[in-house]
Amino acid sequence: MTTLNRISTGLILTALTVAAVAGGCRSTATHARTSPAQGFIDAEASQELLSEARAQFEAGNLTEAERTLELAAEANPFDGRLHYNLGVLALRQGRFDSAAQRFARAAELMPQTVGPQLGIASTLLQTGRFEAAADAFKRALELDPTSRTASEGLVLSLEHLGESDARRSIR
């Protein structure tokens, strides 16, 4: 398995895993908000839908998982986990523009969480934007200096940019 595939697989395996995504973030799963433009935010309903989507994902039904996550995001558009997981599904299906938008929204809602930043970086890497990907992997390492995915992604990005000493430059 190539490093690029390992990075993508790592993101996909963490998709819909609440503990991995929500750890240490301020998510509206417990802090519902209201917005005049959006109406009432139903955090409880979005949490139930997230659980349902996780089960669908684990059963291999990605289409249903995505549909369920979309419903959850409508119920609670301020929950970054929902946008992150929709980004993971879009990335897996090669819908890079959609993935980038979802990861950007998740990063906006969960600025201290590494998952959305890894999603942004992986999307950039897979679309050949190696310099931007390297920068995004560096930001991910700032959030989590122990992230193996971020380290490997940074090395791969730098190698694509022709930096022969890529491995040494991140140590």
Contact 102, 86 (CB under 8 A): yes
Q: Return the minimum-mean-pLDDT range out of 43-47, 59-63, 134-138, 158-162.
A: 43-47
Report the candidate in 165, 2, 109, 143 with the shortest Cα–Cα distance to residue 121.
143
Summarised one tens digit per residue, pLDDT across range 21-78 is 333 333 333 334 444 344 557 778 888 898 899 889 888 888 999 999 999 998 889 9
pTM: 0.74
Report the candidate in 148, 162, 72 with the shortest Cα–Cα distance to residue 170.
148
The whole-angstrom separation of Cα 15 and Cα 102 is 13
Instruction: Residue 70: give its domain's CATH number.
Output: 1.25.40.10
The whole-angstrom separation of Cα 118 and Cα 107 is 10
The whole-angstrom separation of Cα 65 and Cα 137 is 27
Q: How many folded domains does the chain comprise?
A: 1
Average pLDDT, the chain: 78
- Domain with 84 in it: 3-169
Which SS3 state, helix, strand or coil, does residue 40 take?
strand
